[in-house]
């Protein structure tokens, strides 16, 4: 990376470590029946000219102390070329489907929530095959006295079952932890910074390894036009460092990156995604939207100077209930 990229990256990481942000800034705080936010359902289809992602997600309040997040994503190739064929990030290597459920349960301990997660991935091609992932993470909501900041510390255990097409099935056990920070600066700007640490006990007899990831993002949302009939036009920007994997390191040699594990190599994506979104409020609880924009990224596969870029469109529907 040249000096300019290092400066940009350092700024994003610095902001991210201090904070992080946006739509779900206090999503982990399970409120009383009188205070809690509405349950939300959303479906959207993003068409980038190297892949298509159809997503259905929901945030359902089951009770005063239980909230369920659901997300279904399906990726498929919609085009060919240098971008889709060579980039190391994303899900462009064929069809894949990911389904994830997260149950957030408020405990009697002040500031502590239990997050139980079940995730399954089905890949249409490649060596990864299918994966099922289950974990339980006690979560502590920190710094509740800082306005605009939502900071969480998670630590728990996980189990991962992998069925590759070309290798034997493996069952791995993991210690997983994260320090996640969300900070809303004002009505137009927010930043995010996350650090993840996992220790994997490999089930196939290979050496155990550590993995560290860092994420840093910035979000901007500026209103351009707001009509009285529910139509709104916004200029949006998302960008950051996603992801940065330090790689899988054996416990007895933290300086040596191992090739084992899904995140078994050093990789990064430095990206920006400016867009324009028009939305129409159908009634108090229902909204449709259309977004168009441009995506550009720099990663370890194109570090010689050529950036990957593509235009995209996204349309969707959101309902509160």
137-185 per-position pLDDT tens digit:
999 999 988 999 999 999 999 999 988 766 778 889 999 999 999 999 9
Q: What is the reported pLDDT for 288?
A: 97
What is the band of 122 on the pLDDT scale with cuts at 50, 70, 90? confident
| Distance from C-alpha of 311 to C-alpha of 316, rounded to nearest angstrom | 17
| Distance from C-alpha of 98 to C-alpha of 68, rounded to nearest angstrom | 17
Residue 58 · residue 50 · CB < 8 Å: no
Strands, E, within 90-185: which ranges? 96-106, 112-123, 130-142, 149-163, 170-184
State what percent of residues in the chain have pLDDT above 90: 49
What is the band of 275 on the pLDDT scale with cuts at 50, 70, 90? very high
For residue 36, the 8-state DSSP code is: P
CA atoms within 13 A on the CB side of 215: 17
Q: What is the reported pLDDT for 51?
A: 80
Sequence-distant (≥ 6) Cβ neighbours of residue 200 within 8 angstroms: 172, 173, 174, 208, 209, 210, 211, 248, 261
Residue 71 · residue 56 · CB < 8 Å: yes
Give the residue-averaged pLDDT of 277-289.
96
Q: What is the reported pLDDT for 79?
A: 56
Q: What is the reported pLDDT for 302?
A: 63
What is the band of 190 on the pLDDT scale with cuts at 50, 70, 90? very high
Region of 230 (left: φ > 0; alpha: ψ -120 to 50; beta: rest) is left
| Distance from C-alpha of 33 to C-alpha of 4, rounded to nearest angstrom | 49
Q: What is the reported pLDDT for 305?
A: 62
DSSP per residue, 59-72: EEEEETTEEEEEEE
| Distance from C-alpha of 80 to C-alpha of 82, rounded to nearest angstrom | 7
| Distance from C-alpha of 210 to C-alpha of 199, rounded to nearest angstrom | 5
Q: Which residue has the tokens 């900070």?
A: 183
Could you tell me the residue range of the domain that residue 79 belongs to? Answer: 3-320
Q: What is the reported pLDDT for 228?
A: 83
Sequence-distant (≥ 6) Cβ neighbours of residue 308 within 8 angstroms: 82, 83, 86, 87, 296, 297, 298, 299, 302
| Distance from C-alpha of 153 to C-alpha of 180, rounded to nearest angstrom | 6
Residue with the larger pLDDT of the pair 11 and 255: 255
Single pTM value for the model = 0.78
* Structural domains in the chain (count): 1
Q: Judge whether residue 219 has pLDDT over 90.
A: yes
Give the residue-averaged pLDDT of 275-284.
96
The β-bridge partners of 291 are 277, 314
What is the band of 84 on the pLDDT scale with cuts at 50, 70, 90? very low
Say which CATH number the domain at 135 has: 2.40.160
Q: Judge whether residue 26 has pLDDT over 50.
A: no
């Amino acid at each position: 990376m040249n000096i300019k990229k290092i400066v940009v990256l350092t700024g994003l990481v610095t902001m991210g470590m201090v904070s992080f942000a946006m739509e779900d800034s206090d999503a982990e705080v399970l409120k009383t029946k009188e205070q809690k936010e509405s349950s939300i359902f959303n479906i959207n289809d993003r068409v980038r000219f190297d892949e298509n992602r159809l997503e259905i997600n929901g945030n359902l309040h089951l009770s005063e102390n239980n909230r369920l997040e659901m997300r279904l994503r399906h990726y498929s190739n919609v085009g060919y070329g240098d971008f889709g064929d060579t980039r190391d990030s994303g899900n462009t290597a064929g069809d894949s489907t990911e389904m994830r459920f997260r149950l957030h349960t408020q405990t009697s301990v002040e500031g502590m929530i239990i997050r139980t997660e079940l995730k399954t991935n089905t890949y249409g091609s490649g060596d990864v095959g299918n994966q099922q992932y289950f974990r339980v993470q006690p979560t502590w909501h920190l710094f509740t006295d800082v306005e605009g900041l939502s900071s969480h510390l998670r630590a728990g255990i996980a189990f991962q079952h992998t069925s590759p097409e070309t290798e034997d099935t493996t069952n791995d056990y993991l210690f997983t932890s994260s320090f996640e920070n969300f900070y809303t600066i004002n009505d137009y700007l927010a930043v995010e910074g996350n650090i993840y640490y996992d220790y994997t006990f490999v089930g196939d007899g290979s050496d155990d390894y550590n993995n560290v990831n860092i994420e840093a993002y910035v979000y901007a949302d500026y209103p351009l036009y707001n009509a009285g009939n529910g139509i709104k036009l916004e200029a949006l920007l998302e960008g950051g460092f996603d992801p940065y994997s330090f790689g899988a390191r054996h416990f007895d040699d933290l300086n040596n990156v191992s090739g084992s594990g899904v995140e078994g190599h050093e990789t990064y994506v430095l990206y920006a995604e400016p867009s324009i979104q028009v939305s129409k409020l159908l009634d108090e609880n229902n909204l449709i939207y259309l977004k168009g924009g441009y995506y550009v990224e720099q990663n370890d596969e194109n570090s010689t100077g050529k950036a990957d870029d593509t235009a995209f469109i996204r349309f969707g529907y959101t309902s509160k209930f």
